[in-house]
Amino acid sequence: MFSKILIANRGEIACRVIRTARKLGVHTVAVYSDADARSLHVEMADEAVHIGPSPVGESYLRGDRIVAAALATDAEAIHPGYGFLSENPDFVDQVTAAGLTFIGPSAASIRAMGLKDAAKRLMEKAGVPVVPGYHGEAQEIVLLASKAREIGYPVLIKARAGGGGKGMRRVEHPDDFSEALSSARREAKAAFGDDRVLVEKYVDKPRHIEVQVFGDNFGNAVHLYERDCSAQRRHQKVIEETPAPGMTPALRKAMTEAAVKAAKAINYSGAGTIEFIVDASQGLKADRFWFMEMNTRLQVEHPVTEMVTGTDLVEWQLRVASGEKLPKTQSEIALCGHAFEARIYAEDAAKGFLPATGTLHHLKFPGVAPEGAAMRIETGVRAGDAISPYYDPMIAKLVVHSGDRQAALEALRTALAQIEIAGSTVNAAFLAALAADPDFAAGDVDTGLIGRHQEMLTAVAPPTGEVISAAALAASGAGALPSSDDPWSSLAGYAHFHGVARRMRLKFGDEAILAKVSMRPDGRFQVALDAPYDSTNSHDLRAVPRLARWPGHITVFEGAVAYTFTVPDPLARSDEAAAASGSLRAPMPGLVKLVRVAKGDAVIKGQILLILEAMKMEHTIAAPHDGVIAEIAGEGSQVTDGAVLVGFIEDQNASTAATGR
């Protein structure tokens, strides 16, 4: 076993590797960028080395700096985690050339599976079924469009490099192929540095089922059963589970045998995942699955496999990389119970899952597992940490395990309802809605489920009068048990003939709320809300809902939903009158990738104005109404959150003059 390893990653996965290494007595070295100088993985590691500025291209993707850090700290091996350089064969070559061990597969194995088109040709030779499609080298648009017509619409355009849904577009009609291809290529180039694509038949009711495989350097390879990752939004996984609902013995046998065959075809060593697409239109059948791609690394969702098999896959990685044989044979790996993993992201589900930033002023996860279940929280952040625009906005992974799917699902719902996060918009309410969706609960899941139900899953009921009253009570300073440093609470018991009242102003979104807080003779607080609520609610201090106070805000938690209210500073000068009107602002920091219109152009509602790239994903900015462009951000410009992207001419005469009408 190694005595010291370097972890070439950050956040949740770096913390995950450190925990196992510590259990095995292996010392760890963390690397960090400017943005991560005070991060949790840096604090947990035995040593830490600064490798550059915040952008990934200047830090976590600098293989030379990472190798230099390993040599400088006398580390013997490098664990890549997932993402970043984990599937970069050139980095593996750098590591081995420096006399270090790469904790993962060989560069040859990664190259064999790194490009989807080449991997599929290899799998065809190995006798593994592949999706019908075009996997060739030629990339001319005329040829690709012709192949799409041959395959038959709908088709799926996929970047041949990378994953995570980037560079992937579903195309329903030939007229849309050219635009979808251009968009997929731009996104693939930005994410992977490779804009080549393949074109495949789009399966009508696709299930994404993958098999965890593991190999060693002695020719052994095993599987650790399947995971169902069909619950996806924008081709990115949301909730994963194992075993796959509705899995039949015949399909499991065929799929796991194909997965092991695929691993052995490239002499695979380490943790890997063989991803299959399954046609579930007529149920799960052994002849209706096809190889999609192989991830030559540890997967984000690996904890569910660990829960049902009683294994530590990171420990297996370290043991195999240090020269040991696989810890278990196939017959020794049993499947027990059911597990779910929910990915908690800083994102706004109601706005198309736009990534969010912010400081995690309040962060509280369930303290104990729901009754009859086991639970894990995998995270790389603490209260007070910032969600940076430079990296993936994952906050944590919530993992639950119980005896069967129904019990595990109930445990997931219970745990999600106990999460409290304030300071950034998060997807906890969306996850809870998905876990309660009737189709999901019944196991009738395919990759289009979230898209079909998105409006319902992302809808959040407006705050009730009780929730608003709780926020007003907290904003008044009386929403907590009396304390010596709370002057309002210290006056709570005094009144001369009537209760002391305090007027409060709140904002929920753009809506102003007025409330009057007073104390009743029985010691409870009474909150009266002005119209349109026109209701009175009384609160006993012992029954105040879960809430968090943070600078200028109150967040009230009702189940998995977080309602955040702004508490205006009465002494602060409002700048609303000075705010620009008739303009579109950036929903997040990003790069203006493509501009479709110019100053003076007349546009119609829904017309695409520009493409904003943020966190390696493209976001389309469209006109909210008819109008004339007064100003527009320059192509290639970097913009901050809230910056004006597009301004419209509001004066009708000016509009007429600009258009000549």
Which sequence positions are flagged as catalytic?
Answer: 297
Q: Which amino acid is at 344?
A: I
Q: Which of 119, 123, 143, 148 is nearest to 133 (CA)?
A: 148
CA distance 354 to 588: 8
Tokens 């693939």 belong to 188
Question: Would you give the distance in Å from CA 205 to the centre of its chain?
Answer: 23
First to last CA, the chain: 78
Q: Which of 453, 427, 451 is nearest to 438 (CA)?
A: 453
Report the b/e string of 289-316 with b at 16+ CB within 10 A: bbbbbbbbbbbbbbbbbbbbbebbbbbb
Residue 273 tokens, joined: 């995942």
Helices 405-416 and 428-436, axial angle in degrees (round to 10): 150
The DSSP annotation for 172-229 comes to: -SGGGHHHHHHHHHHHHHHHHS---EEEEEPPSSEEEEEEEEEE-TTS-EEEEEEEEE
Cβ neighbourhood burial of 186 (10 Å; 0-12, 13-18, 19+)? middle
Report the b/e string of 431-463 with b at 16+ CB within 10 A: bbbbbebeebbebebbbebbeebbeebbeeeeb
DSSP summary character for residue 281: B
CA distance 491 to 651: 54
3-state SS, 118-176, equals: HHHHHHHHCCCCECCEECCCCCCHHHHHHHHHHHCCCEEEEECCCCCCCCEEEECCHHH
Q: Which amino acid is at 429?
A: A
Helix segments in 422-576, DSSP class H: 428-436, 438-441, 449-458, 465-475, 487-490
Q: Which of 257, 172, 266 is nearest to 222 (CA)?
A: 257
Question: Would you give the distance in Å from CA 520 to the centre of its chain?
Answer: 46
Helix (H, G, I), strand (E, B) or coil at 610: strand
Residue 67 tokens, joined: 């190798």
Find the length of the chain: 661
DSSP summary character for residue 625: S
CA distance 94 to 370: 46
Between β-strands 583-585 and 4-7, what pairing exists: parallel, antiparallel or unpaired? unpaired
Tokens 């013997």 belong to 76
CA distance 47 to 29: 5
Going through 58-125 in order, the beta strands assigned E by DSSP cover 77-79, 101-102
Helix (H, G, I), strand (E, B) or coil at 352: coil
